A and B are shown apart, each in its own frame.
Chain A
Amino acid sequence: MYTLELKVNGQPYKVEVKATANLLEVLRDKLGITSPKVGCETGDCGTCSVILNGKLVKSCLVNALTAQGAEVLTLEGLGRPGALHPLQQAFHEHYAAQCGFCTPGMIMAAKALLDENPQPTKEDVKHYLSGNLCRCTGYVKIVDAVMAAAEEMRR
């Protein structure tokens, strides 16, 4: 076992992990942060998307020890009910969440997009969310929500 120190949603943690552990299992099983989901563990579905040192990653493919000293942002750290981030508000208002399983990954991918590009086109949004699957196929409403949030954040 190896000691991993990292900050998640601003909170410092120190945990013991196996060398083969991925960041997703550390977040979920060691830290109890469960918004990133286990959908495939092969990097195909995007339900585990988080922001690592400012960059969007699929946490199932991040070897946990390579995140030594890193800052991680998950949906829990973006905003809470009563103080939602504009993306969370827009996903709620535009019915962009159906079963809800892809939602945390979708919102984190959208957050990474808006951090880089505050004025995306619909095509930009589709491209940036292309690594995130929604089997309820609610993509139209998801894209609408991201566009609406981008507009709200520019105000």
Chain B
Amino acid sequence: MGETEFYKANSVKEACDLLAQFGERATLLAGGTDLMVLVNRRQLIPEVLVYIGECGLNYIREEETGLVIGAATPHVEIVRSELVQKKAPLLAKVISTIGSPAIQNQGTIGGNLGNASPAADSAVALLALGASLKLVAAGWERTVPAADFFVGPGKTVLKPGEIIQEIIIPEEAAEYKWAFRKIGKRRADVCPTVSAAVAVKTENGRCKAARIALGSVAPTPLLSKKAPEMLVGKTVDAALIADVAKAVAEETDPIDDVRATAWYRRRASEALVKELLSQVIG
């Protein structure tokens, strides 16, 4: 077995060039909070590690497209950013529940997304916020909606050679009322059993736009298709909330695992959606 090689990228261009050079042999490393678990347990022995934690992807700024967050920005900086608090408070809230203070210092938003865990907290927030991801490679770049980014557990639309450069949250996200909750066995360092975020925009008592996202209830972080269909244009009352919660629970495709049964997850999804929708509309 050959020894793992290590390369530190000093710029986004260098990162892309290294990925182009090593192709599928390369494994990206940023904060390491997911990757090192696998490496420590010898579940993954990378051939080539490409470190992108210090390649200029640590930033939070306002652009024409909206709020832009560099992929290697650590969780703690997003949570403490006044800009994020103002433009996307849901994201700040959700990310504040990731891990524990140490993990907040270490983990990055791009890592949380690229790891593509169905439980990824930041994914749930970004789906509810209608965010998109800018992907970059040596020779091209493209932007994909967060809703299209996840393909399966650990799988994304990232092509060989591509990295997540930044996350873009549209300006209008600030107009949504929102709520988030996750259920887990511990308050810190927990992989959620079920999590849910709702973001709703109302006008004159009617729902104008709505997004409901859930974690740990499907092969990917789940954005409900039925919720906006059922809510938009309607005056939302308790009966409609109950119907939406039921419909969202039916959209889930959970599994039995060490954290909970599929049965529990479906029931918890319904209860969470009901609770959160009532909070933002009630």
Contact = CB atoms under 8 A, between A and B. Distances in A.
A and B touch in the complex (CB under 8 A): yes
Interface of A: 1-2, 18-20, 22, 41-44, 46, 49, 55-58, 60-63, 65-66, 68, 109, 112-113, 127-128, 130-132
Contacts of A63: 29, 32, 35-36, 39, 49, 51
Contacts of A49: 102
A19 B100 contact: no
Contact of A20 (B39, B102, B103, B189): B39
B106 interface: yes
A23 to B, nearest CB: 9
Given A2-B6, A63-B49, A65-B8, A130 B37 contact: no
B102 A42 contact: no
Interface stretch (B40-48, B82-90, B267-275): B40-48
Interface in B161-219: 187-189
Interface in B1-60: 3-6, 8, 29, 31-33, 35-37, 39-41, 45-46, 49, 51, 53-54
B121 to A, nearest CB: 15
Contacts of B40: 22, 41-42, 60-61
Contacts of A112: 101
A19 B5 contact: yes
Contacts, number: 97
A113 B100 CA distance: 12
Contact of B105 (A57, A66, A127): A57
Contacts of B114: none
Most chain A C-beta atoms within 10 Å of own C-beta, residue among B37, B46, B54: B37
